[in-house]
Each structure stands twice: as C-alpha cells, then as structure tokens.
Amino acid sequence: MSAAAGLRSEARAALGDYRFLVERGYPDRPSIDLVGNRYRLTREERNLLFRGVVAEKHAATRCARLLTARQVREGGRPGQRLSLCVDGYNVLYTILAYLRGIGVFICTDCVLRDVSAAHGRRPPVSKLRRAVGMLCDALGALQPQEAIVLLDAQVRLYYDSAELLREALAGRGLPAEIRVTAQADAELMRAPASAVVATSDSVILDRTTAEVFDLARFALEREFSPAFIDLRREEMRPECS
C-alpha cells in the first residue's frame, strides 16, 4: 500500500460507496461486507475503510480540535497551560505498525491509524525499543510543560513497556510521569479541557473535552518524513488514463 501509488482503483471506488453508506447511517460491518464483496477488497483494504472512514459530522469536529506541533510547543490555545496526556499503547502501536511494514494512513477525521488492528500480537523487542525511543524523542521535541503517559494495565506486550519508557525518558533528561492503570481510557476521557490528549482512539476523541494531538504521526514524520495515504484526498483522485 504505497502512498505514491495511492489506493487501487477498486479500493478507491469502494471508499466512495462506503462513505456514501456511512453518511446515511448504515451500520459499519454490513456496509464493509457489501462494498468489500462487490469490489473484492483484501482484508487490509476492508480494515482501511472500517478504521479510516468517519461520518462527516464526527470527522469535522475531531479535525477542528486537532492541534499542530507548533501549537503544542507554544502551549496550545492562547492562555492555556499545556498538560500532554498520552495514550501510550495507542501511540506505540501505530509507530510499531509502521516499523513492521504495516500500512498506516490518514483517516477522514485527520488522524493516523494502521490497517492491521492486530494490537495483541507480540512485537520484536528491538522494534518496541525503537518505537519507545521515537515516542520519547517526539516528547523532547515538543517540550510540554508536563507529560503523563498512560499505559493500559490490561494490555500485554510481554515486555515491561513502562520500564522501557522510564529508561528512555531518563536517558534523555525528560521529566514525564509513566502511569500503568486499569482505567487508561477513562482517565484520558476525563482529562481537563486545558489539557491536550495524544491519541487516535475514536471513543476517546469523541468523549474527551480536551483538544487533541496526533503524537504518532508527529513521531513518524520527524524520523522518516513519510508520505502517508490520505483518505480525505483519495476519493477525489482521477483514474490514470
């Protein structure tokens, strides 16, 4: 799935049809089956539609609340004291997907997600260490006044992710709190309106009153300057003659 080539013509046509159904309130899974079967989409392409296409009323709200890296560095909106609350595994898994060659793309709600949704699989420890390092380097570049990285205690990575993060942060001289909690999503949703939440989780994006930042995308763009497939543009692309 190359950003330069974009989507296959069949996947692009399916994107238009699926978006039509989503905007009219049809349920997600039956709609995916309908367009996926019609255009003979791969599992990856079906996941791309399912994870990447959001009804416009929700997408517009999410996009409007998404801060730029410059806004985060400067403290968010005018008069705001920035506290960055990081959805740790959400960010790490997106970075890991890219490092493992799994497709990542910009969704219609402006955030970066991967096509795998296979977040229970064990990543190679070398890639996990690199993802942790990239997350910490991104925090260092942003220099928030305070940062809290929340790790869901119910997620099993088979390695001590909290300890890897603490070591990486300490090695870079970055002050941040690493918190392992069974209430990670709830805590992120309850983040104060003066905070910034770093996540691409749809439920958190819709329920938090805080503004949001795409930390995974920022980390990957700093490291690799990749050109991601952007679903907001794919539907408009003309066919090659």
In a domain? residue 120: yes
With a CB cutoff of 8 Å and minimum separation 6, the contacts of 241 are: none
The per-residue pLDDT for range 50-89, each reduced to its tens digit, is 999 999 999 999 999 999 999 998 875 555 557 899 999 9
Per-residue 3-state assignment (H helix, E strand, C coil) for 189-227:
HCCCCCCEEECCCHHHHHHCCCEEECHHHHHHHHHHCCC
In a domain? residue 30: no
In a domain? residue 236: no
Counting the structural domains of the chain, the total is 1
Written as six digits, the tokens of 171 are 């090695």
In a domain? residue 149: yes
**Across all residues in the chain, what is the average pLDDT?**
90
Domain residues for the domain of 221 are 67-225
Cα(136)–Cα(129) distance, integer angstroms: 11
The per-residue pLDDT for range 106-143, each reduced to its tens digit, is 999 999 999 986 555 678 889 999 999 999 999 999 98
